[in-house]
Amino acid sequence: MAEITYRQAVNLALREEMRRDPTVILFGEDVGRYGGAFKVTEGLFEEFGPERVLDAPLAEAGIAGTALGAALTGMRPVAEIMYIDFCTIALDQIVNQAAKIRYMSGGQVSVPLVIRTQSGSGRSSAAQHAQSLEAWLCHAPGLLVIMPSDPASARGLLKSAIRENNPVVFIEHKLLYNMKGDVPDDGEPIPLGKARILREGNDCTVVATSTEVAKAMGAADTLADEGIEVEIIDPMTLVPLDIDTIFSSVRKTGHLVIAHEACERAGFGGEIATRVGELAFDYLDAPIARVATPPVPSPFAPILESAILPNAAQIADAVRRICLRGNVNGRIHTYQAGTGRDH
C-alpha cells in the first residue's frame, strides 16, 4: 500500500481510468490547465490533452447537459460541478433527464455519466458554497449517489462509478482533500452498494458518512475507555444502500446512531432510521438517535460554523444517551452527562 491524500486518490482514479478507456473524458470549470479549483485534476490536461480534458464556462446546466449528450453518444464523461450547491442550477439536466432516460427508453439507452462535486462546510465558505445536499439527489430515482470518506474509498469507488452504465453523483468533501491514508497498490474498483464495517462492537451501531466517519471513530475510542464498544459502519454508497449490513449490526447491538453533516431535517439519516424502524424495530432497545446539522444556513464566521457542525463529542453523547439504561457489556449504565462517568 501507498499513503496518499484523498486529492491524490481521486486524481489517480481519473488517470487510471483515462489510460484504461479512451472514451473517458473530463470537463468542468478550471479542470484543464489550472488543474481544478481544488487541484484534483492537476496534470491530467498535460497527459491527455485538450480533446479529453476540457474547460467549461461558468454554466452548470450546460456542463451537465453536455455531459449527458456525450454519455448518450458513446463517451464516458466525468463532469465536475465545483460545489454541490451549484447542482441546483443543473437539477433539470441531472434529475429530469440523466436520471430518467434509461427508464423512459425501456432500457435501450444507458447513461454512463459521472458528476463529481464537492460538498460540506468547514472552510468558511458560507451559505451558498457549503451545503450537503446528498438527500436531494438520493430522492431522484435513477441516480446513484456515492460519498467516499477516505483516500482508499475515493479511488476505488470512483473507478467503479466511471465504469457504471447509469448516472452517478460522486460527492467529495472539501475537508477531506488533504486527508492521508493507505491505498492498495492493486487499484481494484470497490463494488457499489456494499458498506464496510470499520470497527466492530457489541453495544451500539454508528452509521456515519463522509467526514463524520473519522469523527465517529474518535468517539468510539473515547467510549471504549468507558466500557462502551461501538460498531462503525460507513455506507460509502447511499444509492444503492447496503441496508443488510446495517440491519445485521443493529440486530447485534440493539442501538443505532446515525451521523451526517447535512441538515437533520429530511436528511438521509432519516431514510436509514425509517428503514431500520420498519424492518428491525424488534431488535432496538432504545430510540434511534441522529447527529446532524440544525436547520440553519452555513455561517461564514468560523466560530458560528463550528458551533453548528456535528463533532465527535456529540456522537459520543448520542451513544451514551441511547445506552443510558441499556445493558452494556453486562453492566447497567446510567450515564451522568458532562462527568465522563457511568454509575
> How does pLDDT run across 193-249, given as a tens digit for each residue?
999 999 999 999 999 999 999 999 999 999 999 999 999 999 999 999 999 999 999
Contact 246/197 with Cβ under 8 angstroms? no
Q: pLDDT, tens digit, for every residue of 236-284? A: 999 999 999 999 999 999 999 999 999 999 999 999 999 999 999 999 9
What does the pLDDT read at residue 7? 98
Q: Using the 8-state DSSP alphabet, how is residue 97 labeled?
A: I
Contact 62/113 with Cβ under 8 angstroms? no
Element (H, E) at 219: helix 212-224
Contacts (Cβ under 8 Å, ≥6 apart) of 9: 151, 152, 154, 155, 181, 183
Across all residues in the chain, what is the average pLDDT? 93
Count of H helices and E strands in the chain? 12, 18
Residue 191 lies in a domain: no
Do both 95 and 217 map to the same domain? no
Do both 24 and 163 map to the same domain? yes
- How do beta strands 204-208 and 256-263 pair? parallel
Three cell numbers, residue 37: 479549483
User: How many domains does the chain fold into?
Assistant: 2
Do both 115 and 242 map to the same domain? no
Residues assigned a catalytic role: 60, 129
Do both 133 and 238 map to the same domain? no
Do both 224 and 114 map to the same domain? no
Do both 172 and 40 map to the same domain? yes
Q: Of 183, 211, 231, at which residue does a domain stop? A: 183
162: CATH: 3.40.50.970
Measured CA to CA in angstroms, residue 165 lies from 18, 77, 91, 146, 238 at distances of 16, 11, 20, 15, 17
Residue 182 three-state SS = strand
Residue 141 lies in a domain: yes
What does the pLDDT read at residue 325? 55
In whole angstroms, give the CA distance from residue 232 to residue 216. Answer: 7
Burial of 279 (0-12, 13-18, 19+ CB in 10 A): middle
Write out the residue range of the structural domain in which residue 238 sits. 196-342
Q: pLDDT, tens digit, for every residue of 98-153? A: 999 999 999 999 999 999 999 999 888 999 999 999 999 999 999 999 999 999 99
Do both 258 and 121 map to the same domain? no
In whole angstroms, give the CA distance from residue 98 to residue 113. Answer: 8
Residue 190 lies in a domain: no
What is the crossing angle of helices 6-20 and 151-163, to 10°?
A: 30
Residue with cell 496518499: 4
Q: pLDDT, tens digit, for every residue of 156-175? A: 999 999 999 999 999 999 99
Residue 306 lies in a domain: yes
Residue 181: alpha-carbon gap to chain centroid: 17
Do both 36 and 100 map to the same domain? yes
What does the pLDDT read at residue 324? 73
Do both 257 and 144 map to the same domain? no
Q: Of 275, 291, 283, 288, give the one whose Cα is nearest residue 240.
A: 275
Residue 283 lies in a domain: yes
Phi/psi-derived region of residue 298, left when phi > 0, alpha when psi is between -120 and 50, beta in every other case: beta
Residue 211 lies in a domain: yes
Beta bridge partners of 196: 234
Q: Of 158, 183, 208, at which residue does a domain stop? A: 183
Q: Of 312, 311, 308, 316, give the one whose Cα is nearest residue 337.
A: 316
Do both 257 and 168 map to the same domain? no
Read off the amino acid at residue 275: R
CA dihedral over 208, 179, 261, 326, signed as positive or negative: positive
The model carries a pTM of: 0.93
Q: Residue 332's pLDDT band (boundaries 50, 70, 90)?
A: very low
310: CATH: 3.40.50.920
Do both 172 and 224 map to the same domain? no
